[in-house]
Structure formats: structure tokens, C-alpha cells
Amino acid sequence: MTVEEKRGIMGREGGPGENFPVGMRVLAVDDDPICLKVLETLLIRCQYNVTTTNQAIKALNMLRENRDRFDLVISDVHMPDMDGFKLLELVGLEMDLPVIMLSANGETKAVMKGITHGACDYLLKPVRIEELKNIWQHVVRRRKLDRKERRCLDNGEDCEKLQAANSEGTQATDANGPVNDNGKVNKKRKDQNDEDEDDYEEATHESEDPSNQKKPRVVWSVELHRKFVAAVNQLGVEKAVPKRILDIMNVDKLTRENVASHLQKYRLYLKRLSAVASQQANMAAALGGRDTSYLHMGSFNGFGNFHGLTPFQPSGVSNRTNPKLLGLPGLAPGMVQIGQTRNNTNIPMNDLSKFQHIAVPVNQHENLFQGIPTSLELDHLQQKQKGINELNNHLQGVFSGPSNSNLICTTNKSLLLQGHQQQTQLRGIGNQPPVAIRSTGVDRLEMSSVVSVHLPDLGKCSETWQNTPSLNAYGVNSLSTGVPYNDDSMISSNMGTSLTSTVAQLHGNPLNMSSNNLLVTTQDSLIRHDMQCQTSSLGGTTLLMSSGIADPKFLSFRSLGNVEQKSNDPKQQNALGPNIAFSSSCNSTLSNQTLLNNVAENQRLKNRIYNKKIDTIMINQPSFDTAFITQYAKTDKSHCDNRLTFCEDNMFGASKMQGDFVSNNCNFDDLMNSTIKPERDDIGFVVDGELGSDLFSLSTCL
Amino acid sequence: MASIPGPDACPPTVRLNYPTAKLSLFLLLSLSSGPHYLIKKDRERKHRKPASKTGLPVWMLGMGAGRWEEDMSHLLALLFRQGVLDEHFMQLQQLQDESSPNFVLEVISIYFRESEKLLRNIRTLLLDRECTDYRKIGVYLNHLMGSSSSIGANLVRNVCVAFRAASEHCNWAGCLRSLAVLEHEYCYLKNKLHELFQIEQQRVLAAGVRYHPLLQ
């Protein structure tokens, strides 16, 4: 290995050489010595320079000490000291190197997870030499894209089109081609830039051939990123331009290009989160069926200072003081999506205060950070809507009990829940509710439908629920992963209920409230129907909205918790288990805002509530300490029929958000109060690493 | 050549076909240029050719290496047919060259070591029915699957897949059964691979004999 290291060091630094891909410097990380040895030999056979290590930490250190030492990283997924996905994210964010994941597990979920975390490829063990012969394309592609991005961002153009165009990897693949093409492309871009540049002082820089230019890589440490995020927040994520960010950050040795490319990545990341959030929101909408018009971006604005990155301030939204619903940036986009998808439900976003978001980052691997990448969830949502409608019908009369007005479900969650088909975890929840809410196959949906069942008294809740959608925007993601929810639609109803409780008027039915809560988003049909059911104790569940990171499942989870069928007493209703609070704040700045933790301690939903213990673990986004908190929920079946198996062990520096609600014992009074009283600013976000309470799956709401 | 770990963990199901001890003794005797003493087997009689100048049978002069190769290819063909090994094992063999002459042997040795550890761990986990950590079993299985598939141990890998299914359903009895099958298949693989290595050793020895100065 020493020899190889030396070879690696002696290799070129910076751009590709003439013999590329020969001599490409690869770092291989795998805890299995056999695979590592075989991989190493194969790579040597492909004429790459290989460095190997069996520990992820060592690999990171190697990468950090000299960013230009490697061109590509290949990493195993399952490693004892650090999760492969986490390593992947860290490398991607800090060093901007292409990372290839390697695993024996080829299931679609796992692959999807890899891709959403930013892997540029996912290989299955056993690795074949033919596959390894082609991995150099990722290096080339990234280089090209980086250059284009930087130029674009500097110009303030929207480089995404460019990216989209390039993302298919259509660059010339012959070894010498890339260099030339880059040169040509760069020149072209320069010309275009020159034509419409406004303050593009550095045009002269770009005129040099970028492929020959060696730019020392900037390491985006946590501190640096925090500053960056703060600057972006200050400017507004949509309006942030690299130059201004740079000025605000006031860090020397940082060039605009660095900032520009980092900004690009950051935006993509937010998009991803919001996609997840929107899914959740869709789920919620499905449950609630309210008009999700508010979901539009405009509604975000209505929420006060909500804008991309800043925490969601419900101020505009509701008269009630809303606890800091996290205005997760991710939500915004999600919200928009929600709005688009459907909705008949009007979930007034106003009463955010009433909403307590349940951010249940159940997701095992997916910390909120990942979110659900696609907006195909929206499509799913639509499907679900139909299903939800059916479910709603079923739900009528099924649920009874006090509705929990406190239930604030982040719409995102519901949406995400609904939308996200991949979130099979929600399935587990779905099974729970007795009401046969059949979602159209999305697990999440089920959650929403379930939620809707327990709607708190409409009277109280109606307005508040409306707000939830906004909250839902936050990555309900938390729920998305890992929890295997059964396919019953119950989950959706649960979601709905939780959400609905916060939703003010659901169609005038008392049940509407419940439906609102989760759904906030688009699905009003569900909610409406749900409304008809008696709103039950949605009460206790407080949803934690995490800024974009909340696992949708969690959200729904929470909402389930809120749905308590039996009593009108809000306290009781929150038998819905644990509040899974996740707040994933995109930025460090979000820490205060973010979590709406829904610590649904009301566990133990007597009837059919899934009582699963959900231990939520806050998972922080790897690079930002406070930023992302994802909870990892472990469920242990206690009362529920459904099995929620959250098996994820995602632990990235968990940070706990302290909120009013402490897990396990839902403070229903507080919940109720919080939702009702606008003055309350802090709706307890309690994010505990260990919810410990019997978290029931969402389906238990019923 | 590095020493091959003996099949200690597995029941000795393999009986070596070739009297390696006798062979080495014979070689020793022949090389010391004492009276040649042939251990004739029926098979050898068939191939016996007129003795060369040195008086040793021709098959001793390195042409016997062909026999070992033949045996090796027979064994490999058998294992491929049975599905015990697949093309990744071939890939492994192709990776062995002058720069890494003992590559296959090293990798397989590491594989044996790691797999036995994993199997032991899994068995320990399954001791207690009530508090079996299925998730951990899944992790170990994943590990075993990855390494088995990397060296081309197809059958072991397939058994792991079935085992994993049982562990995902938290089926204790099923897990136990799967573990028994897994251990059996693993032992069979190990024995066969040992056999393969020994044939290879003989082959190298036989090929080397040809160039012995005394035999020229």
C-alpha cells in the first residue's frame, strides 16, 4: 500500500493528464479485507493509482489533508465506523469529489438512497473489471460540470439548464477529448458570458484555459459552511449571488468560483429536501384534502419570513403564535409542489401556531438531508388522492375521539408520505388503523388517511391546521425512511388527522380538521372525508418540523400519534406515540427555528394505535452540526398490529432540540394550549434522541 | 508458497486422491540418485514411457505436471457445474500474475479466516431465541455475501441470501436451519478449495522437477 500511495502522490495534481484515465488516483474504502484486496487488484489492473484503507475515518483524513490527492473515491456502504452514506455526503460537500458506492445489497431502495445522497454511481458486489474500467467518466463529467457551474454562477445565470444538459454525461469520452472539449466549451461560455455579463469582472480569469488552471480546492469546513448558510439566508436563497455571499462571508482565500459552486450544490441539496418535503406534504394533503392553495410559494411568503433558507416563521400565517415552525428551506419548494398537486383542501396556513409539526425522521438511512429526491411523489400523491378519497369514506365514523388540535402535521410529511412511494416504511403505519384506508399504493398515503380519522374537534382546530401545510413542507422525510409501514392506508389517515387537527376548516366537518393536519397539502379529499369521521384526539401530537429534513414518515408518524380516537380530551388523544421530532435545519441558523418537535408522547393509542416505540435519533447532517437533525426512529411493537420497523441507525451527531414537549409524556395541555393560543411562541419542540415513548405508527391513529 | 490453512473447522470430507507423502518421498529418493524406486499405480502404468537417460520415468520429468493440471481442471469444472464457484473465481485467477504470484492463495486464505469469524458470530447470536439480534445477523450476512461473491463463491452467497430472508422475518428456526446449510456449504467449499490448492502445489512441484539440475 505504501507503494501505491507513493504512486498516488507522485501522480498529477489537478487536471487530467494526457494519459487519462491511466493513472487516475482512486481512494478505495471498505472494511471487508477480501473485497478491498480484490478491488485494489482490479483497479491496479485498470492502470489506476490506488490507495486503500479499511476505515472511513482514515479515508476522510486523507482526503482532508490534501484535496488534490485523489480524483475519485470508491466506498462501501456498510462500514462499522461510519456509514458509507455519511462519508459520501461529507466527501461530496467538502471536497467535491465523485464518490462511487459499493455494496452487496442491490435493492432499489438502497440504490436510490445512494443516489439521493449524491453518489455518482452505485456498484454491486462482486465488482467486475469491466465496470471499473469505466469509472473514470465520473471524474471527467464532474470536472466539466464544475467549470461550467462556476462560470454560470459567477454570471448569475441559471446554470441548472446547463447542468441538466450535461448531466447525462454526454461529453466526449475519449481520453483526450475531455480536455479539448473543456477548452472549447469554456471559450464558448466565455463568449456568451461576455455578451450578457453585468458585473462579471472576472471574465479575464475565465479566459484562461480552465483545464490547465489549477485551483486549490477549498475545504468547506463546518464553520465555513455555517457562515455560508448565514450569508445565503441573509440574502435569500433565491436571490443569493456568489459575489454578495462572498462579501458577507468575508473570508479571505475564498474565491467567487468556490462560493458559486458551493451555492450550486447547496441549492440542489435544498431542492432535494423540498422534494421530500413536498412528498410529505402531498401525503398530508391526501389526508386532509384541503385546498392546498396555500401551499404555493406564495403561501410561504405569507408565513412571514419564510423564505428559502430561513426558518419558517409562522408569523404571517397564523394568529397563534406559532412555535417556531421551522421554515425549513426545503419546505418551500415542497410546498409549492404541494400546491400544484392538488388539492381541494384549503389548509389555511395561517394557524401555524396550532400546528405542531411532527417531524418524524424515522428514516433510517435517509436523514432528512436526503429527502425524497423526486417530485414523482407528487404523481403518487395524485394516485393516492384517489385512494384517499376512498379511504375517507371508510374513515367516516371510524374514528372518534377527541381531536387533537394540536396536531400539526407538516404538510410535507403527509405529502411526502403520500407521495413517496419509496417510503415503504410508512407502510407499517398504514396497517394499523383499522379503517381500511386504502392508499393507492403509496405507503405514505396510508398514513395520511389514518390521520384524518381522528380529528380533533373542529372547532378548535380548524384554523390551526391550516398552518400545517407550511410546516409540512419540511422534510417529512424523516418518516420516509426505514419504517416499513404496512400498506394500509391507515397511515395516511393518521397523517391526516394529525394534520387536520391543525387545519382549521376542513370542509366544515369536524373531521376535517384531522385530515388537514397531515395533509395540509394537497389532498383535500381525504381530509374532507376524514372530516366526517369524528375528530379524535389528534391532540397531542406535536409535530416537529424540521427544516426539510424531517422525515416524512415521522411526520406522519406523529400525526398518527395525534389521532387518538377515543376521547375528546386532547390529552388522551395523543396516545399517538412518540413525537418524533426532527428538525433538520438546513442551516445552522435554523437551529432555533427548526424543530417542531412532535414528541407525541401520547403513545399508546388504545385502539389500534400502533404502539411502536420510536426512538428518534436526531441526526444531524454530517457537515453541519446543528443543521440537520434527523431522527431515527426505532419502533418496537407494543400495541400495534402494524409493525413499524424503523431500523435505521442513522446517527450523525444528533442534536437535540429542546422543546416543550418531552417525549413520552405528551403534555397535552401544552399542546392544546399551544395550538390554541397564539401567544405561545414555542410549541414545544422536543426533539429527543430517544423518544422512547411508544411511538405508534401513524396508522395507529385510527 | 504460503501455507494453506488446513480444513480444521470442517469435518474431513475430502480424501486426497494423490499420495502426496509418497510422492515427495519418491522425489527425494530419486533426486538423491539412489536406486530408483517407483511406486507404481495402475494409472501410472498406463502412461509409463521408456525411462529417460536418468532412469527416471518420463512422467517425473515435468510432463507429469500435465496430470496435475488435468486434475485441476476437472475439479474446477465440477465446482462450476455444481454452482459452487462462478466466473468471478476465474477473474480472481486472472488477476494472479508475476507481480502477485500468490494472489489467489492470499485472498482465499483471508476469506477463510473472515468467514469463519462471521459464521461463529452468527451462531453466537442465534443462541438465545428470545433476544436474537436479527439486524446484526443481517449485517454479518451482508458482509459474508459481499466477500463470498467477490471471490466467486456462488453457492455460499446464495445460501446467504436465503438466510437473510429468514433473518428479515425474524424467523429463528429458519435462521438456524439456514445457518446449518450455510456452514455445510462453506465447509464443502473450503475442502474443495484446499484440494485445489494442493493440486496446484503438486503441479508446481512437478513442473519444477523438470528443471532440476540432476535431471538434466
| pLDDT tens string A542-566 | 333 333 333 444 434 343 334 333 3
**CB-nearest partner of A38 from B114, B143, B150:** B150
Beta bridge partners of A448: A492
CB neighbours of residue B206 within 10 Å: 22
Q: What's the pLDDT score for residue A287? A: 65
Using CA atoms, how far apart are residues A277 and A582, in angstroms rounded to an integer?
13
- Output b/e per residue, B102-140; b: 16+ Cβ within 10 A: ebbbebbbbbbebbbebbebbeebbeeeeebebeebbbb
Q: How far apart are CA A293 and CA A470, in angstroms?
A: 11
Instruction: Name the more confident of B89 and A444.
Output: B89
Distance (Å, rounded) from C-alpha B12 to C-alpha B191? 8
Residue B84 has pLDDT above 80, yes or no: yes
DSSP letters spanning A87-102 = HHHHIIIII---EEEE
pLDDT (mean) for A405-409: 37
Show the beta-strand stretches assigned E in A500-569. 503-504
**Mean pLDDT taken over chain A:** 54
Of A405-409, B28-32, B88-92, the range with the highest mean pLDDT is B88-92
Work out the pLDDT band at A42, boundaries 50, 70, 90.
very high
Q: Identify which of B103, B106, B142 has the shortest CB distance to residue A104.
A: B142
Q: Taking CB atoms and an 8 Å cutoff, what residues of chain A touch B150?
A: 32, 34-35, 38-39, 125-127
Query: Residue A288: which of A557, A516, A54, A625 has the closest Cα?
Result: A516
**How far apart (Å, rounded) are the C-alpha atoms in residues A445 and A285?**
9
* Three-class secondary structure assignment of chain B: CCCCCCCCCCCCCCCCCCCHHHHHHHHHHHHCCCCCCCCCCHHHHHHCCCCCCCCCCHHHHCCCHHHHHHHHHHHHHHHHHHCCECHHHHHHHHCCCCCCCCHHHHHHHHHHHHHHHHHHHHHHHCCCCCCCCHHHHHHHHHHHHHHHHHHCEHHHHHHHHHHHHHHHCCCHHHHHHHHHHHHHHHHHHHHHHHHHHHHHHHHHHHHHHCCCHHHC
A-B CB pairs within 8 A amount to 58
Note whether B150 contacts A126, CB cutoff 8 Å. Answer: yes
B114, pLDDT greater than 70: yes
Average pLDDT of A413-433?
39
Check whether the bond before A348 is cis (ω within 30° of 0): no
Chain B CB contacts of A647 below 8 Å: 135
In a 10 Å sphere around its CB, with 0-12 CB exposed, 13-18 middle and 19+ buried, how is residue A2 labelled?
exposed
B153 to chain A nearest CA, in Å? 10
Is cis: bond before A21, omega within 30 of 0?
Answer: yes
List the A121-124 sheet strands across, edge first: A49-53, A25-29, A72-76, A99-103, A121-124
CB contact under 8 A, B147 and A129: no
Q: Distance between CA atoms of A335 and A293, rounded to whole angstroms?
A: 10
The residues facing A662 across adjacent strands are: A665
Q: Is the pLDDT assigned to residue A596 strictly greater than 50? A: no
Q: Which three cell numbers stand for residue B72?
A: 485441476
- pLDDT of amino acid B20: 52
Name the interface residues of B facing A (CB cutoff 8 Å).
88, 91-92, 95, 100, 103, 106-107, 110-111, 114, 135, 139, 142-143, 145-147, 149-152
**Cα A577 to Cα A564: distance, rounded to the nearest angstrom:** 10
Of A389 and A74, the one with more pLDDT: A74
Window 27-86 of A, Cβ < 8 Å to B = 32-35, 37-39, 41-42, 45, 76, 78
A312: DSSP letter: P
Listed in sequence order, the residues at least 6 apart from A298 whose beta carbon sits closer than 8 Å to its beta carbon are: none
pLDDT at A219 over 80: no
b/e code A22-56 from CB counts within 10 Å (16+ = b): ebbbbbbbbbbbbbbbbbbbbbbbbebbbbbbbeb
A159 vs A224: which has the higher pLDDT: A224
Model confidence pLDDT, tens digit, residues A623-657: 333 333 333 333 334 443 444 333 333 333 333 33
pLDDT, greater one: A16 or B77: B77
Is A75's pLDDT higher than 90? yes
Length of chain A counted residue by residue: 702
Measured between alpha carbons, how far is B82 from B84 in angstroms, rounded to an integer? 5
Interatomic CA distance for residues B197 and B105, integer angstroms: 8
Say whether pLDDT at A120 is over 60. yes
In a 13 Å sphere around the CA of A669, the CA atoms on its Cβ side amount to 0
Residue A122 host element (H or E) = strand A121-124
pLDDT at B9 (0 to 100): 46
Give the C-alpha separation, A115 to A372, whole Å.
11
* Separation between Cα atoms, residue B23 and residue B42, nearest integer Å: 15
Pick from A34, A105, A127: CB nearest B107:
A34
Label residue A18 by pLDDT band (50, 70, 90): low
Q: Which helix (H) or strand (E) holds A28?
A: strand A25-29
**Per-residue model confidence (pLDDT) at position B151:** 92
* C-alpha angle A549-A552-A556 in degrees, rounded to nearest 5: 140
**Residues 6 or more apart from A230 whose CB is under 8 A from it?**
A248, A587, A588, A589
Contact yes or no for A34 and B147 at CB 8 A = yes
d(CA A537, CA A453): 9
Position B214 scores a pLDDT of 64
Q: Under a CB-based contact definition with an 8 Å cutoff, are residues B191 and B11 in contact?
A: no
Domains of chain B: 32-62 (no CATH), 65-216 (1.20.120.160)
Q: Is the CB of B114 less than 8 angstroms away from the CB of A103?
A: no
| Identity of the amino acid at A424 | T
Among the residues of A26-77, which ranges form H helices? Answer: 33-45, 56-65
What does DSSP assign to residue A316?
A: G
> Which residue(s) pair with A488 in the sheet?
A438
Q: Give pLDDT tens digits for A123-163.
A: 998 888 998 988 888 888 888 887 887 787 767 655 455 44
More confident residue, A498 or A386: A386
What is this structure's pTM? Answer: 0.41
